Amino acid sequence: MTQLEEMKFHRLMDRLASDPRCLRMKRYIQHGSVTTYEHAMRVSRMAYVVNLRMHAHADETKLLRCAFLHDYFLYDWHEKGHDDHALYHPVKAAENARRDFGISEQEMSIIASHMWPLPPLRIPMCREAWILTAADKVCSLEETLFRR
């Protein structure tokens, strides 16, 4: 990113990323040795860059808020009893984000669809959702394979 783009990214992210409720994501490992908070930041950055480079014209505020909160489920999914995590956590994250940050119905849908094609009927329905889904897949794969 250019310095100007980097500054804009931080300006858009700072308030949410420094919120004490979001800082709780630092307690949980997401992939490999990457915390859920680090993963959320990586996905947010990737989504921001994809939107810029592809000239997708997604709503940056909505995109970054959803990207950062897409895994706002606030539990350790590695513990026993979370066997259905891949299917359930997007809805839990959306519910938590609605409760704590008052996100809109569309933002809930964006977060809830980020694991597509799991489940196959929870399809991303807008450009922000498609960008988030792609950014999450790229970051998750890289973290799982190379950040242990």
Domain residue spans in the chain?
3-146
Q: Report whether pLDDT(78) > 80.
A: no
3-146 CATH: 1.10.3210.10
Q: How confident is the model at residue 84 (pLDDT cuts 50, 70, 90)?
A: confident
pLDDT at position 146 is 84
Structure tokens at 113: 């669809």
- Look at residues 64, 77, 7 and name the one whose alpha carbon lies nearest to residue 36: 77
Whole-model pTM? 0.94
pLDDT at 80: 78
Can you tell me the mean pLDDT for 75-101?
87
